[in-house]
C-alpha cells in the first residue's frame, strides 16, 4: 500500500511539473508570438553566439539563456516596460537592460538569413510602397523626430507589400519622422531592395525615382477628368493592401501606436528594427 501511495505521489509530481512546463511554454507563446519550436530554434541559434555570457563564474546566473531570449522578444512583441518585464521574469530592471543590450542585436544577426528576398514573395509582380511613422519618445537632443503629418515624434519606416497584403520588405534604415516619404524611400534602403519591381505608391512619392505609378494630382483651379478620378479610386482600393501589411508588422507593439511608443535611446532603434524584421519573417515562415 505504501509503495502504491509513493508511486501515485511520484506520478502526480511528474504530472504537475509537466503541466507547469506546458503552461510556461503557452505563456511564452502569448508573450513572444513564437510557438515553442520556434522559440527553442531561436535559442539554439543564439547559443552559438553568446553561450559564454551565461556561464556562472561564482554567483548563480540571474536568468538563463532560454528565459532571457523569451524576455527580450517579449519586450519587442508587447512593448512592456523593463521594470514590468523584470517583475514577470523575477529579475531586476538593470538585468533586463543588460539582456536587452546583449540579445537585441544578436537576434537581428542570427535571423538575417531567414528574411526572404522580395522576389521569393512577389515573384515578378507589382509591389505596393508606403511609409509609416512609428511613435517614439520625444528625445529633445535628437532633431527631426516630430512628424507634422501624424502629430507625434517617431521614426519613418518604408514598407513594401504584395497586392494581397503580404509584407515583402521593410527598409532597414529608419528615418526621423519629420522627413517626407519621398526622401525616406531611397535613404531607408527600400529602393535598393525593390530594383526592377514595378511599384505603386501614393501622392507622397510623386517624382521619386523607382516609383512607377502614383495617383493623378489635382492642380489648383483644375478638375481631374472622370477617367483620372476612376483611376485614382481604383489605385486607392489597390493600395489598401499595404495598410494591412503595415498593421500586421505593427503587431510587434514596439512599432505601434497602440503599444505605446519606443522608449529606448534612438541609437538602438536600427538594431531593434532589424531584430523585429527577422522575428516577423521567422514567425511567419519558419
Q: What is the pLDDT of residues 86-98, one digit of tens each?
A: 999 999 999 999 9
Please say whether the beta carbons of 194 and 163 come within 8 A: no
**pLDDT for the residue numbered 6:** 52
- C-alpha cell at position 120: 521569393
How buried is 123 (Cβ within 10 angstroms: 0-12 exposed, 13-18 middle, 19+ buried)? exposed
Kindly write down the DSSP assignment for every residue of 61-81, as one continuous string.
PSS-HHHHHHHHHHHHHH---
Question: What integer is the mean pLDDT of 13-27?
Answer: 53
Report, in angstroms and rounded to the nearest whole number, the Rg of the chain calculated over CA atoms.
23
Tens digit of each residue's pLDDT (9 = 90 or more) over 53-66: 888 777 888 899 99
pTM over 0.85: yes
CATH class of 2-114: mainly alpha
CB 209 within 8 A of CB 186: yes
| CA–CA distance, 158 with 249 (Å, rounded to integer) | 12
User: Cβ atoms within 10 A of the Cβ of 90, count?
Assistant: 10
State the pairing for strand pair 127-135/199-200.
parallel
Tell me the domain boundaries of the chain. 2-114, 118-249
Confidence of residue 258 (pLDDT cuts 50, 70, 90): confident
pLDDT band at residue 3 using 50, 70 and 90 as cut-offs? low
For the segment 136-166, what is each residue's pLDDT rounded down to a tens digit? Answer: 998 888 999 999 999 999 999 999 999 999 9
Stretch 231-249: mean pLDDT, rounded? 95
DSSP assignment, residue 123?
T
Amino acid at each position: 500500500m505504501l509503495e502504491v501511495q509513493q508511486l501515485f505521489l511520484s506520478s502526480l509530481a511528474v504530472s504537475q511539473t509537466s503541466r507547469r512546463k506546458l503552461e510556461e511554454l503557452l505563456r511564452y507563446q502569448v508573450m513572444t508570438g513564437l510557438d515553442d519550436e520556434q522559440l527553442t530554434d531561436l535559442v539554439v541559434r543564439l547559443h552559438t553566439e553568446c553561450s559564454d555570457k551565461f556561464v556562472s563564474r561564482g554567483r548563480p546566473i540571474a536568468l538563463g539563456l532560454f528565459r532571457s531570449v523569451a524576455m527580450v522578444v517579449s519586450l519587442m512583441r508587447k512593448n512592456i516596460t523593463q521594470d514590468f518585464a523584470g517583475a514577470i521574469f523575477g529579475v531586476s530592471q538593470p538585468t533586463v537592460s543588460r539582456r536587452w543590450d546583449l540579445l537585441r542585436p544578436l537576434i537581428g544577426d542570427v535571423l538575417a538569413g531567414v528574411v526572404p528576398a522580395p522576389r521569393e514573395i512577389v515573384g515578378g509582380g507589382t509591389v505596393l510602397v508606403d511609409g509609416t511613422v512609428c511613435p517614439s519618445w520625444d528625445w529633445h537632443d535628437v532633431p527631426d523626430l516630430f512628424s507634422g503629418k501624424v502629430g507625434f515624434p517617431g521614426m519613418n519606416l518604408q514598407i513594401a507589400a504584395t497586392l494581397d497584403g503580404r509584407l515583402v520588405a521593410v527598409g532597414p534604415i529608419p528615418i526621423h519622422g519629420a522627413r517626407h516619404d519621398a526622401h525616406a524611400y531611397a535613404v531607408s534602403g527600400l529602393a535598393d531592395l525593390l530594383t526592377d519591381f514595378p511599384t505603386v505608391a501614393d501622392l507622397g512619392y510623386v517624382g521619386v525615382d523607382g516609383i512607377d505609378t502614383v495617383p493623378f494630382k489635382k492642380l489648383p483651379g483644375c478638375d481631374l477628368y472622370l477617367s483620372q478620378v476612376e483611376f485614382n479610386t481604383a489605385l486607392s482600393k489597390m493600395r489598401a493592401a499595404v495598410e494591412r501589411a503595415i498593421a500586421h508588422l505593427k503587431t510587434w507593439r514596439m512599432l505601434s501606436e497602440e503599444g505605446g511608443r519606443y522608449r529606448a535611446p534612438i541609437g538602438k532603434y536600427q538594431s531593434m528594427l532589424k531584430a523585429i524584421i527577422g522575428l516577423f519573417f521567422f514567425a511567419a515562415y519558419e
